[in-house]
Structure 1
């Protein structure tokens, strides 16, 4: 069963800054080369009801593909060196289609 992995977040960088752009570009470049990642998207959140600004989403064919991504050294390094230091707040949601 396919898994849609999403995370909505706020960066420590000012909106429109070069640092913000670099973080988003680095995420795309790093995470999309990991086997099993499909349909990676970056979206700006525009609702005034949330203080989180950005969303990443990606699709995995199954739990094994998701687990391999989660354990992959590139993902782990990105989380440790960029996510942990540049993301102020986030919410993560993973979805599967209703049977």
Structure 2
């Protein structure tokens, strides 16, 4: 069963800053290059109901692909070097499809 991994977040940088642009470019280049990552997207929040401003989303074919992503050195380095210093707040959600009877 596939897993859609989503992280909704707000950066420490202003949205139109060079630092924000570099963060998004690096996230796209690095995270989408990890084996098993499918349908990688970065989206901007348009509702005023949340102060979290962006979403990273990707799909994995199954739990083993998702676990391999979490442990992949590129992901681990991105979290340590970019995510932790540059993200002010986040929520993480992982979804699988609801099976019908």
TM-score, normalising length from structure 2?
0.97
Name structure 2 gaps, 5 residues minimum: none
| 1:55 paired residue number | 55
Is 1:15 aligned to residue 15 of structure 2?
A: yes
Alignment partner of 2:57: what SS?
strand
Say how many residue pairs are matched.
99
Shift of residue 73, structure 1, vs aligned partner: 0.3
Alpha-carbon distance between aligned partners in 1 of 2:45 and 2:64, rounded to the nearest angstrom: 29
> Which stretches of structure 1, 4 residues or longer, exceed 2 Å deviation after superposition?
none
Alignment partner of 1:26: what SS?
helix
Alignment partner of 2:4: what SS?
strand
TM-score, normalising length from structure 1?
0.99
Alpha-carbon distance between aligned partners in 1 of 2:72 and 2:41, rounded to the nearest angstrom: 19
| 2:90 paired residue number | 90
The CA deviation string for residues 14-56 of structure 1, in whole angstroms up to 9 with x for no partner, is 1111110000000000001100000000000011110000100
1:62-81 equivalence runs, <5 A = 62-81=62-81
RMSD: 0.4
